[in-house]
Structure 1
C-alpha cells in the first residue's frame, strides 16, 4: 500500500509539478484580473420610510465605497447611477437608531462588489410626517453691469413641503439655488430648483422648481440747475401782464446717465401756464418744466408752485 501511494505521487512527477505550477499561475492571473479597486465618494444615501414617517435627522447624507472587480467592470461603473439605500419601511417607532451600511445596500453597480464602505454606520432619527405650505425666496449671485436688482419674484410664491413634523415647525422660508446676474444689463426669468432647508434631512418639495424673475432697474442719476428763470406762458398774440413769485427756481432732472447727457448743458425751461387767468383773482399755479420730446427724463421744480397775480 505505501508503495502504491508513493508510485501515485511520484509517477510522472515532472508533469504533475508542471500542472501545479500552471494552476497556480492561472489562479494568480485570474486573481490579478479581478482585483482592480476604485473608491467612489459622495454616493447618495437614501432612506426609505414607512407611510406616515419621515427622517428627522441623519448623521450622513452620502457614503464612500471601495469597489473590486475586473478592469473592464471597474471602467464601466457610472457613479451617477450608484446609491446606498436603507430600508426602514418596517420601522414604526419614533426616535433614533443606528444602522450598519452593508454591501447589499449599495445599488446601481454590476460585475463589481463593494469591499469597504465609509462610514460603516449612520445614525437616523424618525418623526411623524406632515405637510406645510412654505414661501419661497429667490437668490442672486454677482452684480449686474448697470443698475441694481429691484425685485426677485418667484412663481409660484409658495411650495408644499412634506417631512418630519418637528423640522417643518422650524421652517419659515425656502430658498432657490442662486441665479448668476454677473454682467447682466436687463431683467430675465429662469426656472430654478428649490433647495431643502437643511443638509441633515431631505423633505419632499412640490413643485421642485419655480420660475424666478429678476427685475433689474437702470441706475438713475440726477442733475440740478439753480436760479432758472421762471417764465409766464400766455395765449399766443395776446399781451400778458402778470407778477410771479418767485422769479427763479431750481430744476432737478432725474434719469439714466445717457438720458441726462442728451439734455445738453443748458438748463431746461421752467414756466407757469397763465392762459385765461381772471385779472380779479390771484393764483398758486404749478411750475412746469419743458423737456425735449422723447426725452426719458423726469424733472421737478423747487418750489413746485408759484404765486401769480394777473394784470401787473
Structure 2
C-alpha cells in the first residue's frame, strides 16, 4: 500500500489521457480492483491510471501497488503492453505513437517483437521504423520475440560461417554460430551445404542489393581470418550430413524389403528433414506450448540415444534386441 499523493502520471501511452467514461464505469463497481503497476524509481503509474482515479474519487488515501524495477524505457514498453492487452484498449493513434517511441528506445528489437507489444502489424511497425530512423545508421541485428538476437541479413553470417568451417573443420557448431552471428541451426545447414559441395548461401538469399552488400561486408570482416588449409573432402568427412546418410540407407535392400526397415527409414528421413529445417522449426514454436515441446524433444532425444547404444550393441554381437 502506498500513498496516492506519492504517485505520478507523467509517462502515459494514451495521447488523450484519462477516459472519463471508463472511470465512471469502473466507479459503478463496488468491488476492490487488482493492484496497479508502478515504476519504483519514478513512482510513475505504468498500468492502472483509471483504477487510481477511481480510488481518488472514493476518497482513498492509499492504493495497493505492484512495483516494477527497470529502466524508464522498459517501463513505457510495459505500460503499452499492459494497456494494449486488457481493460480499455489503446486507440490506433496511441499504438502508432507508442511503436514510434519504442523503435527509438529499443532499435535492436525486431518489427515483430514491437508489433506484439503495440498491437500493430509487423508491416506497420516496419513503415514506422523507416520514418523514425531515416537518419540513423541501420543495425545489422535485431532481437526477436523470444529474446534471441538474429542478423537482419543472414547472407553475411552464412558466408562467414562457411569460411570458419572451411578453415577449421573441427570447430564446434556452437562456436561457429556465435562467431558468425547466426543460429546453430543455420550453422548446421551451412556445414551440410559445404559437405555436399554447395554454396553456403542459397541462391534465394543472395537476391537483392541488401544481400549483396551484406555478403561484401562479410568478406571484408574475414580478410584477416587465420586460415588452416582444408580440402572439401576433409569438410565432407567431418560433416556427416544426415540427409546424405539417409539417402544411402534408402538404397539398402535389407532395410527396404521389411516393414520394420521401411518404418525405420521413414523415421530417419523425418529426422533429416527436421535438421534441415531446424531454424524455422525452432523459431516457429509458440510461447504457450514451448515447455511441452521442449519436454517432448528431450524425451525423444533420450530415446534415440538409447536406440543408438542398443543398435550398436546389436550390430556387434548380433543377439541383443531393442527393448520398447
Tell me whether the two structures share a fold, i.e. TM-score over 0.5.
Answer: no
Larger helix share, 1 or 2: 2
TM-score (ref. length: structure 1): 0.20
Bigger CA radius of gyration = 1
TM-score, length-normalised on structure 2? 0.19
Q: Normalized per residue, which structure has more strand?
A: 1
Higher relative contact order (CA 8 A, sep 6+): 1
